Amino acid sequence: MFENSGKRQVIRMHPNDNVLVALIDLEKDVVVEFENQTYLLLDKVKAKHKFYTSDLNAGAEIIMYGVLIGKVQTKVLKGSLMTTENLKHAAEPYGYRGVAYQWQAPDITKYINTTFNGYYQNDGQVGTANYWLFIPTVFCENRNLDVIKEALHNQLGYAVSDKYLRYTQDLLLAYQKGENLESVNISLAPTSSINRVFKNVDGIKFLNHQGGCGGTRQDATTLSALLASYANHPNVGGITVLSLGCQHLQVQQLIHDIKIQNPLFEKPLFVFEQQESESEEQLIANAIKQTFEGLIQINLKERKPVPLSKLTLGVKCGGSDGFSGVSANPAVGYAADLLVALGGKVLLAEFPELCGVEQNLIDRCVNESIAQKFINLMQSYDELAHKVGSGFYMNPSPGNIKDGLITDAMKSAGAAKKGGTAPVIDVLDYTELATKPGLSLVCTPGNDVEATTGKAAAGATLILFTTGLGTPTGNPVCPVIKVATNSVLAKKMSDIIDIDCGPVISGAKTIEEMGEDILDYCIKAASGLIIPKAVQLNQDDFIPWKRGVSL
């Protein structure tokens, strides 16, 4: 099923592990030889799945990636398949213990003098893109945003729907002629996005959401902080705000939060309040006209050489599979370590997917205060989930389980690999901005869109998104780069995948080589030399987190 050099059938992720991961489909009764041991398989073990390396009684601990990931529920035999029936989630307790963490930084000689071409903002921040951003203070304005989006995208060259419009037109024509619709094929011709009017404006983005009113005042306060962080984002050149007028989230609060977060804020900012307008038509027309004038203004910006220390990289996984912790996540982790060594910032989030590796992360925190903040956020989050009958242990999705991620601790141990091995320099609550060079932990759900939304709020200017199953997720202001764990997915969903980590599975490349390839891609994407697929497809997903239970 998966490409393999023929040299490796299985892999052990850590010397202390008592399970092996299948790199290819292995049939029942096959004898596997690995590290001077032989294993007679008692079940068929598909690629990505695991089997036990010894006979174990009920209650025995299972170790993978060197940490506890579960306990067996019934007696299992050497060579038998790990399943949800014979293994349940378990994780070690954790706490601060004052470990003096020593980090071995990777060799960065290759990148010492490397730069990317970014956009300098007046406050000193540097963006990897130059976007105009529309922000509604309340869901009532979403409809107006949709009208404006259609007008601006179609006329200024940012639409991606041209080929689908042509396809629908061809279907209509065939129907009117009485022809067979099966004969109509969709054209793969490029869309009008190549004909942009404003060459230095990478996109016009819209933060449609369902908040701003009707919920609690706390929800509106959190939303305001989130929207303010997007207005202040390095990739945003100017902002248009649409407000109804009577909602909880008032324009004054949003502007106050923008200035509190960034006293040096000087971007063009236009505000339109519908209840103060003569008509909806006037509101939309005025918003389009002033935004057009703003686009002329920010189009004057040009990319300039920037040191890699100005790059902020978010790392995320979604639609994970049994290879996520074997190939893509550790390769992304190595790229993250390279960037930290170069003075850049890396953001690791998804707190439900850090369950089971808390102690490792705590031991890497640079001081007790930061470690305690992480502990408090993790415990309060998990307690909230338990109060409604859930918990971090329920995190793996059906797709995760089907492709080999049996427990949350197993999923988390592999997921944490994308954060690399650098010290944890800071821990950030939701909507807090990363200000310190190095690796920061950011409190977000594991939910793909809520997590990427939170990473961009923390200041990520690029997001590396690993996936084993294929996830069409992007972000309005932060380019999202899709990294496949295996070559089958990369070929099958080539329209959404940017980087293939399958060579790690086949043995053609090492984690370090793949990590350098990933950083090289990031440098090109940050310079506008490569446009990630999520950006090309306008996959502008945005879901604010209300601080409720979301795994």
pLDDT the model gives residue 391: 67
pLDDT the model gives residue 2: 39
Buried b / exposed e over 25-41, threshold 16 CB at 10 Å, is bbeeeeebeeeeeebeb
Give the CA radius of gyration of the chain.
25
Give residues with Cβ within 8 angstroms of 2, minimum separation 6. 23, 24, 25, 47, 486, 487, 488, 502, 505, 506
In whole angstroms, what is the distance from residue 23 CA to residue 287 CA?
55
List % helix, strand, coil for the chain (3-state, nearest 5).
35, 20, 45
pTM: 0.93
In whole angstroms, what is the distance from residue 380 CA to residue 361 CA?
17
Q: Which amino acid is at 318?
A: G
Nearest to 18 by CA among 75, 61, 59: 61
In whole angstroms, what is the distance from residue 500 CA to residue 321 CA?
14
DSSP-derived secondary structure for 230-286: HHT-TTEEEEEEEE-SSSSS-HHHHHHHHHHH-TT--S-EEEEEGGGSS-HHHHHHH
Give residues with Cβ within 8 angstroms of 203, minimum separation 6. 129, 131, 132, 158, 535, 538
Tokens of 467: 């996936």
Nearest to 489 by CA among 506, 507, 501: 501
pLDDT the model gives residue 393: 63
pLDDT the model gives residue 510: 97
pLDDT the model gives residue 375: 97
Mapped onto helix, strand or coil, the DSSP state of residue 480 is strand
pLDDT the model gives residue 23: 95
Nearest to 253 by CA among 217, 207, 215: 217
Q: Where are the alpha helices (DSSP H) in 78-209?
A: 142-156, 162-177
pLDDT the model gives residue 551: 52
Q: What is the pLDDT of residues 155-186, one digit of tens each?
A: 999 988 778 888 999 999 999 999 999 988 88
Q: Which amino acid is at 418?
A: K
Q: What is the pLDDT of residues 311-342, one digit of tens each?
A: 999 999 998 899 999 999 999 999 999 999 99
Buried b / exposed e over 203-227, threshold 16 CB at 10 Å, is bbbbbbbebbbeeeeebbebbbbbb
Q: How remote is the C-alpha of 324 from its chain's centroid?
A: 14
pLDDT the model gives residue 4: 39
In whole angstroms, what is the distance from residue 268 CA to residue 287 CA?
13
Determine the Cα angle at 420 with ends 415 and 424, to 5°: 100
- Identify the DSSP state of 299: T
DSSP count for the chain of H helices, then E strands: 15, 22
pLDDT the model gives residue 7: 63
Tokens of 316: 């995320």
Same fold, 10-88 and 120-158+196-303: no
Provide the CATH topology of domain 10-88. Answer: 2.30.130
- pLDDT under 70 in the chain at which residues? 1-7, 188-194, 391, 393-396, 548-551
- Total residues found in the chain within this entry: 551
CATH number of the 120-158+196-303 domain: 3.40.50
Q: Where are the alpha helices (DSSP H) in 499-550?
A: 502-506, 511-526, 533-536
Q: Report in angstroms the alpha-carbon separations of 479 from 149, 190, 211, 235, 460.
A: 19, 20, 24, 9, 9
Nearest to 527 by CA among 308, 332, 335: 308
User: What ranges do the domains of the chain cover?
Assistant: 10-88, 120-158+196-303, 307-536
In whole angstroms, what is the distance from residue 333 CA to residue 65 CA?
14
In whole angstroms, what is the distance from residue 299 CA to residue 131 CA?
10
Tokens of 359: 């102690």
CA torsion 67-68-72-73 (nearest 10°) is -160
- Contact, 422 vs 336, CB < 8 A? yes
